[in-house]
Every structure is written in C-alpha cells, then in structure tokens.
Structure 1
Amino acid sequence: MNSGLSQTRLERMHSVMAGYVERGEVPGIVTLVYRRGEVHAEARGTLTIGGVPVRRDSIFRIASMTKPVIAAAAMILVEECRLRLDDPVDSLLPELADRRVLRRLDGPVDDTVQANRPITLRDLLTFRLGFGAVMAPPGTYPIQQAIAEAGLEPSPTPPAVTSDEWMKRLGQLPLLHQPGEGWLYHTGSDILGVLIARASGQGLEAFLKERLFDPLGMKDTGFHVPAAQADRLSAAYARDPETGGLRVFDDPQDSAWTQPPVFASGGGGLVSTADDYLAFCRMLLGRGRLGRERILSRSAVELMTADHLTAEQKETARPFFGGHSGWGFGGAVSLRRTELWQTPGRFGWDGGFGTSGYTDPQEDLVGILLTQRMMESPRGPRVFTDFWTSVYQAIED
C-alpha cells in the first residue's frame, strides 16, 4: 500500500522535530503520521530532562484531546436513545435546572435574569450552554472571582472534589449568557462526563473502557496510569518565566495521574499513547468503524465533525478558531485553507500539556504530536505549526 508520503520529506519533518529536542525546547517528542493504511512514527529525546529515552509507547497527559473522546461517548448514548440531542438535561443533571443568567458579563453576580430555555445535550457538545472559560485577565469580572472561589476554573489538573459536589457548586452560579447564544470553552466537556456516568449508570472511566477503549484496543488510555506502567509516564513541564527554561509541573514520581482521580475530567483528564489515540482517530476516519468494530454510525461522525457555530460565535472566539475553523462536537473543524494543513473538513483538537491530534478525511490522514511542554495560549506553539507544516509538505499526491 502506498501512503503517498515522501520519505525524503518525512525525514525533513523528523529533522525539524529533532531540533526542538536538541535546543532544549522540549525534552522529548513522539510524532505519528498515518495515511492510507501506513504509519510513520518516531520518538526522540527523553521522558524527563536527563532521563530515559522517550518511546513510541510512552504515556502522555493528553489534556483537551480528551474532549473529542467524551463527545464520541455521548454520541454512543444518543444512538441508543438513552440521551437525545435537544432534550433538556435537567432530569439527569438537576443542578442545571431553572438557570439564571447574568444580565451583563461585567455586572454583579446576583444581577440576573431567567434563562430563556433549559440547557440541552447539544448545548454541552457545542460549548453553547452558557458557562465556560472567561477569556479575560483574572479579576476582570465579578463572575470570574465567583468561579475561582467555587473551584470551577478550567485547570490543567482535574477538580479535587467529587462530580456531585462539582455539579452542586456549578448549579449555584449563574450562566454567563443564554443557552445557545455564545461559545465558551471547556466546561461543557466536564459536564458531559458527569452526564454520561449518570445516564449509563457506570463510572465514566468504566463506560469509556467498555464502549471505546477495549473495542478499539486502547489499552493504555485512561484517567490514571497503573503502577505497573508508571515508568512509561512522561513528565509535564511549563516555561519558567524567570529563566525562560523549563520547570516541572507534574513529576511522574508523584504525579496526580498515578492515582485514580476524585473527578474524572471529561474536559482534559485522560492519558494516552500515540498508537492508542491513532485507533480513536482511525475510528472517526472510518466513519465510526475500525476493523470489525462499529462504534458509531456514519451519520453520528458526520454530525460530530460538522461546524455548529454561527459566524458571530466563531468571531467572538477568534483566539481559538483564527478565522479558519469552527466547532463540532468536542473538537474544531477546519472550514477553509489558510495554512498548508487547514484542509476543509479536517477535525481534532490540541491538549494543553503540549499535544495535538487531527484527522483529515480528504487526505485519509491522521497526525499526532506528543510533547511534555505546556501551552501558553489558545494558539498552538511553534512546535505544533512546524509539525503540521511538515506533515502536509510530505504529501506527494
């Protein structure tokens, strides 16, 4: 089978990625490119600074690359008619019933009006429920302080309270806009995780394992790393603002991911490997099927990977979408080519710990990049853009 990828140009990609390791910008990198049935993977650098070599099967915190997985899990329940896209979620999430909405984003937290309608599953999947990350400096608005005091701010680490307590706190705060009217990042996926657990009668990880991970052979994906595999977990680093170098954010020796979490975060709690995540992406590329396993219908995948936002909603979230993308269910969807890699219909998302994974049906392609350096803004860092440029320049036909 011919992948249609130039070996010479793939070597160019490997050289560019190696530069990031050699310059000390990231300790290690795993790259994986799948096209037309062929897989090209490479691991460079170390799991920790000065530590053992990173390997193709090394385990990384994939952060917000969890979001498409959770959306797919929700669609399994939709297809079984256990959830419905436009039904209110109040029956399973009573904490979200009878919502109040801020009269103005910059107004007092108690200056509210009644919500025009209930929150639906579609609102959660498209991040239009009315609650999420406020993209403004901390303390700009009173609601930001209230969110922080409640422990509901989006964070690189999962919440430290149970899902029931988290939902209780969420239910005590007003929405930031009317359901369906705007796009706010992140929180919808965490709520989705709670909804899936309640609708299925299982813990979120148990449901994902039974319905997604085991059927797809994703043996190293979960919300924590078992003790027997802990030596495969990478470190997580952040930029040190004083030195410009790297400082440890999460050490594998005492990582938060070496124990089952109190709250299984559908917004960003999973760990995985390049090959595990490839299996998930190939299922989506196969319109819901991987090998003999049918996870979702073709219609469900097409719905997940369509743009569901209005032009105004995309414009107000421009730091995320850059004028070239929209949002489906749990991930971004490219709408027009503004870069080598922005093929219309390409979908996926990035992870705040320094990971990126996208699927391109037009090119029959999946690309996955795993690093240990945390993102510093919604826009992807240079290692992301160089990886995706290198992937697409390698396509020969």
Structure 2
Amino acid sequence: MDVPAFENKIERMCQERVIPGVLCIASDTTGSFQYKKAFGVRTLKEDTPHDLLKVDATMWLASCTKLIGTIAVMQLVEQGKIGLDSDITEFIPELKGLEILKGFETIDGVETPILEGNERVITLKMLLTHQSGLSYQFFNPNIIKHRALTGGETPAIYMTSPDLISTFKTPLTYVPGEGWEYSSGIDWAGLIVERISGMELETYFQKHIWDPLDVRSMTFFPAQHPEIAGKLVDMSLRAGGSTAMGTAVDPNGKMEYTTDTVWNPDMKFASAGAGLYGAPLDYQKLLHSLCVGDEKILENATLDLMFQDHLAPAAKTAFEATLEVKELRAVYGVREGQKVSWGIGGMVYLEDVEGGRRKGTMNWGGYPGLFWFCDRVSGVSGVLASQIIPPGDEVFKGVMEEWEGVVYRNAGKV
C-alpha cells in the first residue's frame, strides 16, 4: 500500500469511528525520510466541537514511559553510580525481606496467603527486564487477592495513592531471576534515580533527557502545566465491553468517548513506568536520537548492551508462555510465532520481520493504543499513537502493521 492509499484508508476509518484520532510519526537516520501526520479528531465527546487532531497533541504515554525511566537509570550505570548486577535494596531498603506469594490456604475457615521467604538478590537488571519477581497488581489476581485479605487497597490505589512505595510494594510472585512477569520494576528504578541523583524524577528527566533534545512537552503532572494539558487528547472506548483479558469483546464495535482516563492526570508522584504525558511527536525525537546514535542521551556502547536479549532461560520460558495467549500477543503487538525476547528498555526481535523490523529492533508501547519501535539496523524508528481502551485492540494492531510496512517501503528499507 502506498502513502496516499494508506492515508485515505485511515481517514475513512476515523470518519466511520472504526478507530479514533491517531498520530503516525517516523523517520530514518539519513534524514531523507520523515513522516508525521495526524488523522481524525481530538475527541469523540458528543455535543463538543470535534476539532481535528493536531500533530503536536498531548497524550498519556503510559508504558512508553518505561523506555525513559530505563534510559535515566542507565545514565547512572554509565557514570558508575550503580551497576546492573547491584542489589537494589542498597538503594531501596523498603524492598528488603519481600516474601514470595505461593498461593492461599484456609485455616479455621479463614483464607490466608501462603508466603515463602526469598534468599535471592534482586538486581537492577532484573528490575529493568521484568525478572525481579515483582508484579503489577492490576495484572495479577493473586496480588489483588493478597491485598484484599491483608487489608490493603484495591487497584484503585493507582488513582489515589500519595506515594510510589505504598502503590507498588507487594509480595514477589516468583523467585527473582527464575520467571518473567510484566511489572513495576521500572517504577522502582525511577525511585533509584531520584535517590542517587538527589533530583525529583520530573526534574531529572527534563535536565538529562528532554533538554538535550529541546523537548518541552513532557511531564508527570499535566495539571500543573496548562500549556501541555490544553492539548490532551480524550480517551476513546471500543463499544461492547472488555474480555477477562482486557481486550475488546467486539473488535468491530464503534469507537465512543469515555470519561475513563485509566491513569489519574493529577497523580501525586512520578511513575517511571507509566506516568508521563506529552507529545508523541517529541517522543519520536528521542527514538530518532537513539537510532542515529548521536550520543546526546546515552553512549552507543550502552545502547548496544540494551538492545541485546537479556532474559535468563527460566525467564524466557515464562515470557514465551505469555505469548501463547492470543490476547496478550495483541496487547504486546506481536504476531503469532514471532521470535522475541526482552532487552533493557523494551522487547527485542530475534529475527527479521518480512517487510519491516530487522533482528535487533527494540519496541514496546503504552496501554491506550501506543506503539513505538527503534530499528538501529535499518536506521528507522517511529511511533503510532492514539488514546484507545481496552488495550490489545486487534483493529488498531492491524493499522500498526500496515503503517509500519508503509514506513519501511517509503524509507527504502524493504
């Protein structure tokens, strides 16, 4: 599909509410190929002017934040202030003595968690690659149940909690290094950055990541920055509800406006795992910098390390098991049978994708319809961004695959 045909198709899909507004942004390292275009409208709210989506729009970036949090702590690794094999409890003593949740038992009619001691050190590398044993409670029913039984809060804590520690401190779900589960590890890594640097994460990100790229659109606290919040795109929902896995029941349902923002835009702490708001247009500046290897943010030797496969055998087995679930493949944006693993910063491809990503590409995304990729081999990077729930939308995944094919063909990389 050529560019005009793709653009016509996306415009039609937006008009028919098959998808909401979407941003498509990409570039190559030679400077000969750049693409940035907005499709659709900023909001689907009834009785509201349906202003066209603008290319510099603000979105909740969700887990796209994880790449930034990883880069921040890897800058400290470069400086020798912490090592990938460091025991993270040296910097976060609050995580000392975490036990492993093995299940539940009923004693005298009372259901009680079964907890087992852990002797394994949690390293920084484990935090950054989701091999630490930590979890996100909203992805793990056992952690939700544990909190309920022990007087803890429900997942609504993510909207109301005043601090990171009470939000993310949970039992482990497996022995560190012997499993894989998408987790709060990078949220904790952000706390390490604050404690080593002596800066609040918002300040650190701006000074050491965004200032070198001349970016002013990124913040954890949009309510404090009306110039950023004023460009925020409203969330859209696929009509028909969600499955137990959190994906759309009816993939053909029309898009509707929703007041569910998923993440509280007035959070009280900076989450290095999910908290950033900003312009995907500026996020692409970061991806382009990494792809070019201009060393404004990280040394190329550090990037070489990050873009490698870092999963231990047991962790890889657990990760591959998640990819056997169709709904999770959709959430992760992975094709069935695709060989992928995990690097430091995102998922890494272990083989070429026909007409697209090369072996060694890193990519990930964000909960409400965001996908990014950085292919240092081909010299192509890009971000596809929307604000759509639930995640793992099959229609939007199809758009992502078509758009990526258009990018690689027009950049002359097929």
**TM-score, with length taken from structure 1:** 0.84
**Equivalent residues of 1:26, 1:372 under 8 A apart:** no
Which of 350, 368, 373 is equivalent to 2:365?
Answer: 350
**Equivalent residues of 2:100, 2:115 under 8 A apart:** yes
Report % sequence identity: 25
SS of the equivalent of 2:302 reads helix
Q: Shift in Å at residue 394 of structure 1?
A: 3.3
**Deviation digits for residues 260-290 of structure 1, max 9, x if unmatched?**
x20211111112223311111022113362x
Q: Shift in Å at residue 324 of structure 1?
A: 1.9
Letter in 2 for 1:120: T
Q: 2:119 and 2:260 mapped to 1: Cα distance?
A: 46
**Deviation digits for residues 32-68 of structure 1, max 9, x if unmatched?**
1202213111112111125211111111111111111
* More displaced stretch, 296-305 vs 122-131: 296-305
Q: 1:194 and 1:122 mapped to 2: Cα distance?
A: 15
Q: 2:383 and 2:38 mapped to 1: Cα distance?
A: 12
1:246 aligns to 2:255 (yes or no)? yes
**Equivalent residues of 1:324, 1:338 under 8 A apart:** no
SS of the equivalent of 2:38 reads strand
Aligned to 1:146: 146
SS of the equivalent of 2:373 reads strand
**Equivalent residues of 1:97, 1:118 under 8 A apart:** no
1:167 aligns to 2:165 (yes or no)? yes
**Equivalent residues of 1:66, 1:270 under 8 A apart:** yes
**Equivalent residues of 2:308, 2:348 under 8 A apart:** yes
Q: 1:92 and 1:317 mapped to 2: Cα distance?
A: 31
Q: 2:288 and 2:154 mapped to 1: Cα distance?
A: 33
Q: 2:402 and 2:51 mapped to 1: Cα distance?
A: 25
Judged with a 3 Å threshold, the aligned counterparts in structure 2 of structure 1 residues 18 and 109 are, in CA distance, closer, same or farther, namely farther
**Deviation digits for residues 170-229 of structure 1, max 9, x if unmatched?**
44x421001111111131121112221122111111110111011111211111331134
* More displaced stretch, 12-21 vs 76-85: 12-21
**Deviation digits for residues 120-141 of structure 1, max 9, x if unmatched?**
11111111110114797x75x4
SS of the equivalent of 2:400 reads helix
Matches within 5 A, 1:187-202: 187-202=184-199
Unpaired runs of 5+ residues, structure 2, are: 242-249
Matches within 5 A, 1:196-345: 196-225=193-222, 226-241=225-240, 244-250=253-259, 256-257=264-265, 259=266, 261-287=267-293, 289=295, 294-309=296-311, 310=313, 311-318=316-323, 319=328, 320=332, 323-345=338-360
**Equivalent residues of 1:345, 1:362 under 8 A apart:** yes
Letter in 2 for 1:385: E
Unpaired runs of 5+ residues, structure 1, are: 1-7
1:186 aligns to 2:183 (yes or no)? yes
Q: 1:79 and 1:109 mapped to 2: Cα distance?
A: 44
Judged with a 3 Å threshold, the aligned counterparts in structure 2 of structure 1 residues 151 and 385 are, in CA distance, closer, same or farther, namely farther
Q: 1:264 and 1:303 mapped to 2: Cα distance?
A: 27
SS of the equivalent of 2:72 reads helix
Letter in 2 for 1:248: Y
Aligned to 2:61: 62
